[in-house]
């Protein structure tokens, strides 16, 4: 019982931190995509 009481909060903490990490990765990828899109728009030859 004590082991379960220790593992549940630890597991929840790991899942929540993983969500925050994935959110950060998503923002970084979105930012990189915006930069590529802006660069492509600036360098159109038509």
Write the CA distances from 30 to 4, 6, 17, 19, 43, integer angstroms: 39, 37, 20, 16, 20
pLDDT band at 6; cut points 50, 70, 90:
confident
pLDDT, mean over the chain: 83
- pLDDT category at 34 given cuts 50, 70, 90 is very high
């Amino acid at each position: 019982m004590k082991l379960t009481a220790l593992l549940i909060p630890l597991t929840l903490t790991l899942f929540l931190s993983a969500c925050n990490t994935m959110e950060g990765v998503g923002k970084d990828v979105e930012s990189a995509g915006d930069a590529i899109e802006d660069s492509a728009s600036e360098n159109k030859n038509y």
